[in-house]
Structure 1
């Protein structure tokens, strides 16, 4: 079982990734992260006290399901991630599976991961991390857009992606490059947000202990 923090795992991954892709592509992604950080959190991004809207999502099998049905009557942790193509997302979801899910189950709190990718992508994310919690698709980023957390890679980053052999649009259900900022929400049984952590730099993520601490905010 992984015991190190997400930040520690990201640091180790980045060392190998930078060596693999070389300085030119690394500089492109560094510039993108710096630009995202400089722009900051969107003014209309979801925040504490907001009411979560319902949305129609897709299961990995392609069946429609409402967010309200998945969350049920209990509190829940919602994780918005970019897609199975994102190594930082895979690393984070696997860590949540191993380190966070047992605590949430003990406390009767659900865990749901949501991305704009196709149902096939959700299935891939599930298998990548051996995930044992719902992983759903938000086609067209309808839910993410309502929460004010939608962005897209820069043109330079997408060109770098192409050099690495993939394009975000090929993974998304609506064939666009739109993706959510990596975000973790903790919502109570009434769908009210008690914790919202939006990461504009996609190489950083909400640590497990931060989510666990946020559970104490639940009524």
Structure 2
């Protein structure tokens, strides 16, 4: 089953209010409204895309060790995933799919990292829950996400909904701003050029990990 098929199946059960979710229709409608408003805002127009230069960054892994994108790029191309956090089931399924594809990326000389605004403790939880072997990096205040044009502010009505669901982003992220990154996937070549980009304001849609393989093969002249 493809990643998107798994996401679609989860979404269907979640929106139908099937156990264990039991989500009322009003919550679903509010989430749909927020997603549609983000789509309508043309937020993706601000995001970096293929052909752009990728900003360099250094972020900490869950153990507090700095990880430099510039250093990783000296070793090969970089696969970079921005995700919302361990609280997001769609993100967790994406991380699991990326882990499954990690050998294919490594066979083409690429490194894989994922970035979210969550605290180190929640990144450690992401690693444990999803059985990950690639670095999960914390992006305080979504600063790197902003450099890639991905950061957005949650509308007030969605903030209130999240609070009611005990989904307190300031606690998850250690940041009171109530911002998130749009989920995004990039391939960056060793010269720092973005050669693949997929950004979607609808967090229930994610590209397949295999979609990046043609770009990675091109970096090897294959």
Q: Which residue of 2 aligns with 1:68?
A: 70
Question: Using a 3 Å threshold, how does the CA distance of structure 1 residues 164 and 209 change in structure 2: closer, same or farther?
Answer: same
Q: Which residue of 2 aligns with 1:145?
A: 146
CA contact (8 A) 1:41 1:198 kept: no
Please, which runs of 5 or more residues in structure 2 have no aligned partner? none
Whole-angstrom distance in 2 between the partners of 1:213 and 1:35: 33
Whole-angstrom distance in 2 between the partners of 1:118 and 1:184: 21
Runs of 4+ in structure 1 off by over 6 angstroms are none
TM-score when normalising by structure 2:
0.90
What's the CA shift for 1:71? Answer: 4.4
Match of 2:4 among 7, 26, 29: 7
Residues paired across the two proteins, number: 215
Partner-residue secondary structure (3-state), 2:79: strand
Q: Which residue of 2 aligns with 1:107?
A: 108
Over aligned residue pairs, what C-alpha RMSD do you find? 1.6
Q: Which residue of 2 aligns with 1:89?
A: 91
Please, which runs of 5 or more residues in structure 1 have no aligned partner? none
Partner-residue secondary structure (3-state), 2:114: strand
Q: Deviations over 1:127-149 (max 9, x none)?
A: 12101101101112221111111
What's the CA shift for 1:70? Answer: 4.0
Q: Which residue of 2 aligns with 1:21?
A: 23
Aligned ranges for residues 1-219 of structure 1 at < 5 Å? 4-18=1-15, 19=17, 20-98=22-100, 100-218=101-219
